[in-house]
Amino acid sequence: MLQLREIYRDGYAERFIEDWRNGKCPRFLFGTNKLARDIACEVEVDGFINTVADETSYMGKPIVHALDDVPENALVVHCVISWKVKHLEAILARHQFRYLDSTRFSMEMHLQTPMFHFTGWAEDIQLNFEKYDKIYERLADQESRDTFHNLVNYKLSADWRYLRGFENRQTEQYFEDFLNFPDGAVFADVGGYHGETSLEFIKRYPGYGRIHFFEPQPDNMKCAQESLRTYP
């Protein structure tokens, strides 16, 4: 049966939030993007961190330009929500200050800042748990079950630790080693962006039969048409 563990109960996030609220440690947001601005509008911060910015202040607060200049007792919320977060956390881990990702921070602090990757997920999982569990039970191998378990719990809790072991291999995401498409295979690339996945399919299966490519954004479609124009 699919197990829902809302968050890792190691006390780290709880202590981080408690210390942030009491204001006894310097509090920083890593980043000067819209997400950082939205969070700073809801909580008190002492400064921002941006290692590439030329500006010296943001929203009236100082910008620290080097991680080595961040106090060791500081609390840092990193406002990176792309695939680069894993790389960033590896960098932050080299320093003494404590850090937490913005999604977990926002959920623990009950902020109004929208986290579009997670909006509605917890409610849907709780409401339709039987359906999620049915999918889990239908998976034939333990690796698939573990993967599904971690993804569901990640969406439920926004805890990045459920993504340990995952890799960013977007161009390979539909081409796992156990797949072996025959000649004449038909591939549907739905939401094809610039055509990278279709190009990977062509490279791996030159005997393909047809590709159906869908992309709603006109500029992306134009780039894809240019990339794929030499292929039937």
Residue range 184-215, pLDDT digits in tens: 999 999 999 999 889 989 998 999 999 999 99
Give span(s): CATH 3.40.50.720, the chain.
12-109
Q: Tell me how crowded residue 201 is: count the other CB atoms within 10 A of its CB.
A: 20
Q: Return the CA Rg of the chain.
A: 22
Query: 0.85 exceeded by the pTM?
Result: no
For 178: left if phi > 0, alpha if psi spans -120 to 50, otherwise beta; the answer is: alpha
The predicted-structure confidence for 138-189, as pLDDT tens digits, reads as follows 998 998 999 999 999 988 877 777 887 887 776 677 787 777 788 999 999 9
- Topology at the third CATH level for domain 12-109: Rossmann fold (3.40.50)
8 A C-beta contact, residue 60 and residue 106: no
The pair of three-digit structure tokens given for residue 61, joined into one six-digit string: 């607060």
State residue 81's pLDDT score. 67
The predicted-structure confidence for 74-129, as pLDDT tens digits, reads as follows 999 998 766 566 677 778 889 999 999 888 898 788 888 776 566 788 889 989 99
8 A C-beta contact, residue 208 and residue 185: yes
State residue 8's pLDDT score. 55
8 A C-beta contact, residue 85 and residue 160: yes
